[in-house]
Structure 1
Amino acid sequence: MTSIIKLHCLSGAGDESPPCYVLQIDEFKILLDCGWDEKFDMDFIKELKRHVNSIDAVLLSHSDPLHLGALPYAVGKLGLNCPIYATLPIYKMGQMFMYDLYQAHRNVSDFDLFTLDDVDAAFDRIQQLKYNQSVNMKGKGLGIRITPLPAGHSLGGTVWRIAAPGEEDIVYAPDFNHKKERHLNGCEIERLMRPSLLLLGAMNADYVQQRRRLRDEKLMTTILTTLRGGGCVLVCTDTAGRVLELAHMLDQLWRNRDSGLVAYSLLLLSNVSYNVVEFAKSQIEWMSDKLTRAFEGARSNPFALRHLQLCHSVAEVTRTPGPKVVLASFPDLEAGFARDLFLQWAPHQQNSIVLTARTSPGTLARDLVEKGGDRTIELVIRKRLRLEGAELEEFLQQQKQRVHHNNTIKEETTGISSDSDSDGELEMWVVTGRHDIPVRHDTRPSGCFKSNKRHHAMYPFHEDRNRNDDYGEIIKPEDYRLAEIVDAEGEIRDVPPAPPQKQEPEEEMTEIPSKCVTSVRQVSIKANIQYIELEGRCDGESLLRVVAQAKPRSIVGLRAPEPALMALKKYCEAENIENIFIPNKGDIIDATTESHIYQVKLTDALMSGLVWRPCGDAELAWLSAACCPRAMRPLPDDESTSDVLMSLEPAEGTAHTASFINTVKLSELRTAIAKIGLNTEFSGGALECCNGTIAIRRLENGRVALEGVLSEEYYKVRELLYDQFAIV
């Protein structure tokens, strides 16, 4: 039995937008990745919102924002509520990516697309899998099985193999690398053989990659030349993906005394640099065989990086003396510490800026890769500055008014309240908590005047705040705040310790009063700009060879510019691949194997009229129906089109001859006849009973014939014979 397979390209088709696809297998819908780029395109979110309630499962292939950046928004704001499947490193490192992304934008703007709580809620839904661990879907997805395979592009990176009912086998490979690296094994190409449908990321289909040795030499030459010239090197990389390969390689070079690099500093700068290195130390089993053997043999952790200093602010980098190499996030230079250092170091010609990825079109990094440096560009500078003067006074005044308003509401809720009894004049003074039950004395008023009575709580509860820690020291909130340094431009990077206060404030201020400002600056780029490709993807030649070896029946080229897609299509035609799809954003690809297969709905009126007959372990029924279009089904939100679904309606005035379904075994029939007390025996290939007056024979055409004298026993035997069939 085949399945109806459709692919709806929400994003990542026909261009370099982030990958996000809805794969429909019959009635089961799978969201393949949920990426978001540096622009945070809301048009893509509107398209995702249409499908979010019908998605049954989410598969994540990599941990960077390009593959899961919109997941917190989908869970926190759109209400995505389904199982999410990913490997353990994607779960761990994906959180670090999103924490760093959120903090990088929050440091310079009022970022409100999602919160850290949304990030936690999204990753709490992830079901962690191991490589080659198969999971069977349930409910509508009965018969569908998913299996994660190593992709080789990032730690825990996945190529998904999806087995559909029947012989359909789908492989989703957006980004993969077949070559071994220092900290990762390559993709297992043999596991991708002969799928029915290959969903392939064709980003590098026409890209000629430089050899690894030449790339490493170029990087080392740039670093040594810059450091010996008294300059600094900024290596723009990601938070927790490709940075591991770079950090491991550079730390090994720093350990080599002959390199002459020990005299210089090597720094890793991001908001979560400490956590990234700690997680990498605990995930050695997901790395290359070489690192695994080294850890098992000598118990030496390859990510115990002795020469790598971990930094969490630009101020820490500034305090580090002398020439230095800094690995900073993000590679697109649109936000984060890499952009901050770029603005500081780009105007000085003794420095070098190393770009390790092409990133998306329109980003600052892509512009530098295509046009180079030695020019002046106009950049939008966003900062968060501390409030001063009249702005600070106005903020503090609003803060006091808000505190006073909250205290007033609190007093009205838990303080003195007035109430009236049946006579309308009794005033009660009850000082209770929010959920306390007041008790009224059982006293009756005497005379003609009303009397005021004081009431107490039946179960009073008083919560005493602990002002001391376990060792008797007084707890001071200001001791737990991070230190802050305001740079020369007035930009906030950390939180300074608050001045000591003589008395406890009514309400503690949760954040430093600040504002976000935007300006336009002319930045002169005099530093040495070098693009050294360290993305960890297959190059064009290798990608096309993988396609030739996999030999899929159908292939869909995804997330690539038009020249790369045309190169892939031309190669597939030369290799005689049956179907090649090159979709654009918003297209729906019908990749069903069978050409004449349709999907229809069974109406309630039809199902209620069926008469089911048992036949072994199954039940059968005769169906007489006509295929006709259903009423137009309105789609949610602002869609202007509707789907016309075909349905089966009961066909009136149709009749059919009863069909006997089953293969009768005479031996089983003999046992059934013996149970009602009739003697049977085989004679001349026929089953005879009742002293030869009734005979049951198997004819040459496979049918069964009943012969004999009409009697009560004859009808009993005939009824037993009918019971051997499902009559529909």
Structure 2
Amino acid sequence: MTSIIKLHCLSGAGGETPPCYVLQIDEFRFLLDCGWDEKFDMDFIKELKRHANSIDAVLLSHSDPLHLGALPYAVGKLGLSCPVYATLPVYKMGQMFMYDLYQAHRNCSEFDLFTLDDVDAAFDRIIQLKYNQSIDMKGKGLGLRITPLPAGHSLGGTIWRITATGEEDIVYAPDFNHKKERHLNGCEIEKLLRPSLLLLGAMNADYVQPRRRLRDEKLMTTILSTLRGGGCVLLCTDTAGRMLELAHMLDQLWRNKDSGLVAYSLLLLSNVSYNVVEFAKSQIEWMSDKLTRAFEGARSNPFALRHLQLCHSVAEVTRTPGPKVVLASFPDLEVGYARDLFLLWAPNPQNSIVLTARTSQGTLARELIERGGDRTLDLTVRRRVRLEGAELEEYLQTQRQLQISNVKQEAGGVSSDSDSEGELEMWVVTGRHDLPVRHGAAAAGCFKTNKRHYTMYPCPEERTRADDYGEVIRPEDYRLAEIVDAEGEIRDVPPAPPPKNEPQEEPTEVPSKCVSSVRQVAVRARVQHVELEGRCDGESLLRIVTQLKPHALVALRAGPSAIQLLKQHCASEGIDKVFTPARGETIDATTESHIYQVRLSDALVSQLWWRRAGDAELAWLSGVLTARDQQHHDTDVDRAYVIKLVSKLYLNCNRQSSGIEEMPGLEPCAGAPHSAAFINELKLSELRQILAKHNISAEFSGGALFCCNGTLAIRRPCDLAEDCVTAHPPKRVLEVQASRAPVIVRIAGSP
């Protein structure tokens, strides 16, 4: 039976907003991706909040914030509690993306949209899958199956195939790359059978992509000319996605002694650079066939990057002498280390800024791509600084008051006989001890007392910290001279090494605050855009649509020109159903033209007579279609039944309604009993055997089965010629309708 398919575009339609869609198949709802933009648009969150409780499963296609950035907020703040499905690299690298995103915003603002605990809680819900591993949904999704397919573009990137058993085949392909890259295979979307519905990311439908060789030459020319001129190169990339392709390519170039790059430094700067490289080393089986064969044969890990130096702060970069190439996280230049280095290096004309991705509208990187550099920009500079002077004293005083109040609350919750003698009058906070002290408390001596509070004085033992030879160890002698970067920001302050045989204390947060100012930045460095996004170009995208030739297509994340070009191409290829939804719009992509959902009343269900037919149970249903306001309201909504009607009739009901409360209903009707019906494929030879068991003679003549002394003939309309009935006119004829639909036997002729 055909399913009812609806797609609600929360985001990612009618423009380049992040992808986030609710795909409804009958009563089961998938959340396809859960991306967030660089500005953290809350209008999209308001729309997501309405659907959070009704979502049954989440499918993630890529690991970057563009595809899963809002997942921690949805789990931590909106109460999203359904299973989340993704591949292993999306699970691992997605965590690194979100850790880096959180830390980058915490370094420059009071970021409170989600916490690291929310990130961990969200990724704990992920069910990790392998490519081509099919999972059957349960409950409301019985009969639905999901399968992740390789998409390219990023490590573990996925094209989702959603199949309803024996019915629709839905393909969700937001971002993919059909071409092989250095560390990834291309997708194989063109090998899929003709899908019923294709959800296609069509942002590049009108984009003409330069050849890979020309892009690599442009990048290498920029790097060599800048380094030989004494400048530095800033490559703005992401945290753990396209950065892997770029890092692998540059490390291979640095290994080539003829390139002349060995004399220069190659750095990777992000909050999680070490973890990202370590995860990449353990995920070779998800990469290209070339890297897999090299690892299996020579046991050489392609991501043992010998020339790539891992950095976690701007101070480490500034301490590296000479010209250098730095891969810094966050290509939008709104936050993160890429923006910090941009503010430092942009005024120097010897430096170069290389932008590797077209980020969202309104970001600094997009403005530089569209309008270029060599001008003065007014930029807001936000950073976190230490508290000093009166602000530090006020902060410490607030912490003391909070500490005292916590101690009072803990002591106030303990009831004892001595509490009636009076309240605690003074609280002493000394060193690391928070101890209640009662004034006038007499010493108990050797006599027994019922008092539970005693006068106590902390006596910490100061132990001399010395090594095995008696030399006194002073941790301050081993601290780095510079613990802040060039901008005065506090990042990754190296802690003092803990002494031996001493209990380690929990690290305390350095008192700090966020300050903001507007600075005029003269962009004198050379700004280059080298497209390294790893997405399918416009020509290849249209060719893939031609090969797939879906029954229906939905264009996602596409501008007006891309949509117009795609619609013209689909019209020339004979694809009639092309949907171009806007943000917030719901489209009905049901395959059948007349299919509706109706609600069965308890009175009607109680009258059904079920008969077993093989592995199924069947019942004859006869009812009257009524509007919702004419139905009898049930006391328990969970007892309601929902069915689908496929009919040639045009039913007067609202096709946009998706809630059970708005569905039309079926009420029992009084009338004569229905005629007999046979459901299934009828074989006349088997029927003859059944008649013989009941001592009824039957003979074949002209393709028809005559029985009861020629008074009854059972025939197939396509098998019986007209002269057969004319030569042997029976009193009653049974016609067997053979088609893909359930076979119905109807009686014709005189009774």
| Range class of TM-score, shorter chain | 0.7 to 0.9
Contact 1:84-1:127 within 8 A present in 2 as well: yes
Give 3-state SS (helix, strand or coil) of 2:664's partner.
strand
**In the alignment, is residue 247 of structure 1 matched against residue 247 of structure 2?**
yes
Alpha-carbon displacement from aligned partner over 1:501-557 (angstroms, at most 9, x marks no partner): 9xx99x977311001111111111000000000000011111111111111111111
The change in CA–CA distance for 1:205 and 1:408 in structure 2 (over 3 A counts) is same
Q: Verify: 1:653 aligned to 2:670, yes or no.
A: yes
Does structure 1 retain, via aligned residues, the 8 Å contact 2:386–2:512? yes
Q: Which residue is 1:116 aligned to?
A: 116
1:626 alignment partner in structure 2: 624
Cα distance in 1 for partners of 2:520, 2:361 equals 21
| Cα distance in 1, alignment partners of residues 599 and 475 from structure 2 | 63
Cα distance between partner residues in 2 of 1:105 and 1:698: 89
Structure 1 length as normaliser, TM-score? Answer: 0.82
- Give deviations 1:535-584, integer Å, cap 9, x for gaps: 00011111111111111111111002211111111111122212111111
Letter paired with 1:563: S
Report the counterpart of residue 550 of structure 2 in structure 1: 552
Aligned to 1:350: 350
Give distance in 2, aligned partners of 1:262 and 1:282. 27
**1:492-641 matches, cutoff 5 A:** 492-495=490-493, 497=495, 510-631=508-629
Distance 2:696 2:592 in 1: 51
Letter in 2 for 1:523: V
* Counterpart residue type for residue 40 of structure 2: F
CA contact 1:271–1:313 (8 Å) conserved in 2: yes
Query: In 2, distance between residues paired with 1:216 and 1:375?
Result: 27
Equivalent pair of 2:201/2:555 in contact (CA under 8 Å): yes
Whether the 8 Å CA contact 2:203–2:558 is kept in 1: the answer is yes
Amino acid at match of 2:135: V
Distance 1:28 1:338, change over 3 A: same
1:292 aligned to 2:292? Answer: yes
Change (3 A) 1:336 1:489: closer
Distance 1:610 1:481 in 2: 82
CA drift of 1:280 comes to: 0.5
What is the match of residue 491 of structure 1? 489
Q: Secondary structure at the match of 1:598?
A: strand
Residues 190 and 544 in structure 2, CA contact (< 8 A), matched pair in contact too: no
Q: Is the 8 A contact 1:600 1:645 kept in 2?
A: no
- How far does the alpha carbon of each residue in 1:170-208 deviate from its partner, in whole angstroms, 9 at most, with x for none? 111100111100000001133333111111101111111
Describe how 1:175-186 pairs up with structure 2 within 5 A.
175-186=175-186
Spell out the pairing of 1:343-492 with structure 2 (5 A cutoff): 343-414=343-414, 418=418, 454=450, 485-492=483-490
**Paired residue type of 1:150:** P
Counterparts of 1:679-718 in structure 2 under 5 Å? 684-685=697-698, 700-702=712-714
Please say if residues 312 and 492 of structure 2, whose CA atoms lie closer than 8 Å, have aligned partners that are also in contact: no
Q: Distance in 1 between matches of 2:361 and 2:129?
A: 33
Aligned equivalents of 2:612 and 2:475: distance in 1? 74
TM-score, reference length from structure 2: 0.79
Look up the equivalent residue of 1:588 and give its one-letter code: T
**Equivalent residue number for residue 340 of structure 1:** 340
C-alpha distance in 2 between matches for 1:548 and 1:482 = 62
- Aligned mates of 2:597, 2:477 — CA distance in 1: 66
Contact between 1:606 and 1:648, CA under 8 Å: does it hold in 2? no
In the other structure, the counterpart of 1:722 is none
Name the CA shift for 1:363/1:681 in 2 (closer, same or farther; >3 Å). Answer: closer
Cα 1:296–1:487 shift into 2, 3 Å? closer
1:107 is displaced (CA, Å) by: 0.7
Q: Report the counterpart of residue 134 of structure 1 in structure 2.
A: 134
**Pair 1:683–1:169, CA change in 2 (3 A):** closer
Higher mean Cα deviation, 117-126 or 165-174?
165-174
Q: Structure 2 vs 1, CA of residues 622 and 483 (structure 1 numbering), >3 Å: closer, same or farther?
A: farther
Q: CA deviation at 1:685?
A: 4.9
* CA distance in structure 2 between the partners assigned to 1:666 and 1:479 by the alignment: 103
TM-superposed CA distance for 1:611, in Å, is 2.9
- Secondary structure in 2 aligned to 1:195? coil
Query: Does structure 1 conserve the Cα–Cα contact (< 8 Å) formed by 2:691 and 2:698?
Result: no
* Separation in 2, partners of 1:626, 1:684: 43
Deviates more, 1:354-363 or 1:491-500: 491-500
- The whole-number CA distance in structure 1 between the counterparts of 2:130 and 2:495 is 45
Q: How far apart, in 2, do the equivalents of 1:481 and 1:148 lie?
A: 50
Matches within 5 A, 1:28-427: 28-414=28-414, 418=418
Alpha carbons 1:624, 1:654 under 8 Å: kept: no
Contact 1:483–1:494 at 8 Å: present in 2 too? Answer: no
CA contact (8 A) 1:159 1:174 kept: yes
Listed as ranges, the gaps of 5+ residues in structure 1 are 428-451, 457-464, 634-640, 671-679, 687-694, 704-728
SS in structure 2 of the partner of residue 454 of structure 1 = coil
CA–CA separation in structure 2 for the residues paired with 1:562 and 1:483: 56
Residue 165 of structure 1: how far off its partner (Å): 3.8
Distance 1:121 1:24 in 2: 26
Aligned residues of 2:696 and 2:708 also touching (Cα < 8 A): no
Contact 1:35 1:69 in 2 (8 A): yes
Listed one character per residue, the Cα deviations across residues 433-481 of structure 1 (whole Å, up to 9, x for unaligned) are xxxxxxxxxxxxxxxxxxx97399xxxxxxxx9x99xxx99xx999999
Question: 1:201·1:560 contact (CA, 8 Å) conserved in 2?
Answer: yes
Deviation string for 1:311-336 (max 9, x for gaps)?
01111101111100000010000111
The aligned amino acid for 2:665 is L
2:413 partner amino acid:
T
In 2, the alpha carbon distance for the partners of 1:131 and 1:616 equals 35
**1:609 Cα deviation after fit:** 2.9
Letter in 1 for 2:662: L
2:29–2:55 contact (8 Å) kept in structure 1: yes
Consecutive unaligned residues of structure 2, counting only runs of 5 or more, are 424-447, 453-459, 469-473, 634-656, 700-706, 716-751
**Structure 1: how far apart are the matches of 2:480 and 2:20?**
38
Partner of 1:13: 13
SS of aligned partner of 2:555: strand
SS of the equivalent of 1:236 reads strand
CA distance in 1: counterparts of 2:239 and 2:231, whole angstroms: 24
One-letter amino acid of the counterpart of residue 388, structure 2:
E
State the one-letter code of the partner of 1:530: Q
In the alignment, residue 177 of structure 2 is paired with which amino acid? N
Quote the sequence identity (%): 75
Q: Measured at CA, do residues 240 and 683 of structure 1 come closer, stay the same or move farther in structure 2, by a change above 3 Å?
A: closer
Q: 2-side partners of 1:479 and 1:553: how far apart?
A: 73
User: What corresponds to 1:724 in structure 2?
Assistant: none
Distance in structure 1 (CA, Å) of the matches to 2:712 and 2:678: 18
SS of match in other structure, 2:595: coil
* Rounded Cα–Cα distance in structure 2 between residues aligned with 1:366 and 1:592: 38
Partner amino acid, structure 1, of 2:608: L
**Whole-angstrom distance in 2 between the partners of 1:238 and 1:407:** 46
Q: What is the distance in 2 between the residues matched to 1:519 and 1:149?
A: 47
**CA–CA distance in 2 between the matches of 1:495 and 1:140?**
52
* RMSD after superposition: 3.5
Q: Helix, strand or coil: the match of 1:381?
A: strand
